[in-house]
Amino acid sequence: MSAPSAAAARAELAAFGGTAVVLTAGPGALDEALAVVREHVAAMDQACSRFRPDSELSRVNAAAGRPVVVGELFARALETALRAAELTAGDVDPTCGAALVAAGYDRDFEQLRQAGVRVTVNGPRPGPGWRTVRWDAANRRVTVPRGTLLDFGATAKALAADLAAHDAHARTGGGVLVGFSGDISACGEPPEGGWRVRVTDDHRAGDDRPGQTVTLVDGGLATSSTVVRRWAAGSAQFHHIIDPRSGRPAASTWRTVSVAAADCVAANTAATAAIVRGEAAPGWLAALGLPARLVRPDGSVVAVAAWPADHEAGGAS
């Protein structure tokens, strides 16, 4: 193992409706890493955006029960989403697209949270369940039941982070960290002392906001929150993490959950499932050995597994 570099280079770009950050352990690798990340962002957006009419996801959702042959990246995103559903016993389910639409999340979120926008909310639509998706892996052919809308919101961005970080590391040979709106994947030798990551409610927040700074060496770190992607319809408030069984936004036992895992997909899958699981989440995460930080609506923090102690004043989130 080579000696870790002390300097790191940083770049930001807009991606997936949020801010993406690319860090390289060596400053000379940043441009190349950035190019790799841009390629992955464009490819994943083309494959899996729910709001692009020309995306593969839109084509699959419009097929209304007919089989559709999909590309390699979409296939990988679908398999990742189905796997997340199985590993979480259905807490993270890709068949919740119609539930999101029924809750009013039927357009790009930047449009949804504009003042004065008219939001149409219908009754809850529980997800039909990931087992209703028929996937012929050999022929890359997917069949989604009529009326079911797939949504890869819980896994596609994290998968893109993992793929981009790995490819950027392979291309540059140095340590790379890729963060897509808070879904972070690190690959290769980090700077001395590790990557310094702030965990907090909003990925756009600065260090002055309540939270905790940790160091990450490799793997994934992801945060799911019910306080950022929110919208209102009349007096009712909604957020984007759907409980598949009820078709409604999950109860707010936790306002924010951060999880570290072997990769970003696992981290984000666990963080989203923890929001859905509510009070059972700390025990579930501990049993899996996933270091996690769970924040209650009042700001109190529960640390799980090997999550580091919070030495900031008050320890508040």
The one among 27, 64, 204, 237 contacting another protein by CB under 8 A = 204
Which CB atom, from 123 or from 314, has the smaller least distance to another protein? 314
Helix (H, G, I), strand (E, B) or coil at 136: strand
Q: Does 229 bind another protein (CB under 8 A)?
A: yes
Token representation of residue 163: 């793929």
Q: Does 242 bind another protein (CB under 8 A)?
A: no
Q: Which residues are registered as beta bridge partners of 303?
A: 293
Kindly identify the residues of this chain, within the stretch 29-48, that bind another protein according to CB under 8 A.
Answer: none
Q: Does 222 bind another protein (CB under 8 A)?
A: yes
Report d(CA 289, CA 218) in Å as an integer: 16
Number of residues that bind another protein (CB under 8 A): 96
Kindly identify the residues of this chain, within the stretch 249-288, that bind another protein according to CB under 8 A.
Answer: 256, 258, 260-266, 269-270, 288
Residue found by looking up tokens 């260090």 in the block: 207
Q: Smallest distance from the beta carbon of 293 to another protein, in angstroms?
A: 9
Which CB atom, from 125 or from 166, has the smaller least distance to another protein? 166
Token representation of residue 248: 């409604």
Which CB atom, from 89 or from 122, has the smaller least distance to another protein? 89
Report d(CA 67, CA 82) in Å as an integer: 17
Q: Does 107 bind another protein (CB under 8 A)?
A: no
Kindly identify the residues of this chain, within the stretch 69-88, that bind another protein according to CB under 8 A.
Answer: 72-73, 76, 79-80, 82-83, 86-88
Q: Does 213 bind another protein (CB under 8 A)?
A: yes
The one among 11, 119, 135, 171 contacting another protein by CB under 8 A = 135
CB 13 within 8 A of CB 20: yes
The one among 74, 105, 152, 195 contacting another protein by CB under 8 A = 195
Token representation of residue 65: 């029960």
CB 4 within 8 A of CB 195: no
Report d(CA 177, CA 168) in Å as an integer: 9
Helix (H, G, I), strand (E, B) or coil at 183: strand
